[in-house]
Structure 1
């Protein structure tokens, strides 16, 4: 057997039937849920339990990431919105008008990520405006994590339903 055939059987380029796509999707949303505005969740829980230096480190890391995110959104926000809109529109047209399965799969990943980006900027603005005490900051970060998990669950559910629909349509065509 030729190694090219073996390689292309293992790495299936049809997105919804590829185990690699689903692994990537699970790892992506797991990572998005673990890093709350760039702060590892275990640091948040450790800071909440122990206080002291861990709490100071967590507050500093949140401040750094909030300032970084807001600076990026203020300086290049309109440009980023334009680029993301162009990419999403291109993927939408290629995927759902022209039927390119890879574009459909990428759109179903990119759209929820862009929503999460907007939610992250809004959370960062709220945190900066409130200048919260550590207990309030924990609550704000946990609320942001909850919204991240909700967006991720909806994204995975919609992607799984659409992927099954696509695969059943492919099987029906055989």
Structure 2
């Protein structure tokens, strides 16, 4: 269970953040860039796909949101206890992957609420999705940096 010295952990971390920053609220980044270049068909597809994914996320959060929040808090607590009190390296590694994703999930849900309420289209929607992608990438860079520092410390000691 040596996570931080395993190449597979670092590959999984890179794939996780790469996927999260590519799929902005379930919309692929290449569709956002095509819509940004004033492609009418891509802009229509973007608005439709963003609306569908926003409604899907909000349906799930409205139907079972409390259960999801309870489960996420339970998992964070268990991982936090195993990581901090018992020093389980696998729990530390998973916590460093899971905790920032909770923040990204919250921001994505907020974006879905905004897309549902405002129903932006065209450049306004592109701007919202690009801003969300930037914030997601920023969180990812900080998370990878903190994970790398902690992993180096863990491997040295």
Same fold flag (TM > 0.5): yes
| Structure-2 separation of matches of 1:80 and 1:110 | 14
Query: Which of 46, 71, 90 is residue 59 of structure 2 equivalent to?
Result: 71
| Structure-2 separation of matches of 1:59 and 1:112 | 27
- Corresponding position of 2:108: 120
CA RMSD of aligned residues (A): 0.9
| Structure-2 separation of matches of 1:133 and 1:116 | 23
1:79-130 Cα deviation digits (max 9, x unpaired): 0000000011001111111111000100111100111100100111112112
- In structure 1, the residue corresponding to 2:21 is in which secondary structure? helix
What is the TM-score of this pair, normalised by structure 1? 0.88
- Corresponding position of 1:24: 12
**Structure 1: 5+ residue stretches without partners:** 1-12, 170-174
Query: Which of 47, 51, 57 is residue 39 of structure 2 equivalent to?
Result: 51
Deviation at 1:35, TM superposition (A): 0.5
Stretches of 4+ aligned residues off by more than 4 angstroms: none
Deviation at 1:50, TM superposition (A): 4.3
**Structure 2: 5+ residue stretches without partners:** none
- In structure 2, the residue corresponding to 1:133 is in which secondary structure? coil
| Structure-2 separation of matches of 1:31 and 1:81 | 23
- Corresponding position of 2:117: 129
What is the TM-score of this pair, normalised by structure 2? 0.97
- In structure 2, the residue corresponding to 1:16 is in which secondary structure? coil
Aligned residues: 157
- In structure 1, the residue corresponding to 2:37 is in which secondary structure? helix
**Mapping of 1:89-104 within 5 angstroms?**
89-104=77-92
| Structure-2 separation of matches of 1:130 and 1:57 | 17
Bigger Rg over Cα = 1
Note if contact 2:35-2:126 (Cα within 8 Å) is conserved in structure 1: no
Deviation at 1:48, TM superposition (A): 2.0
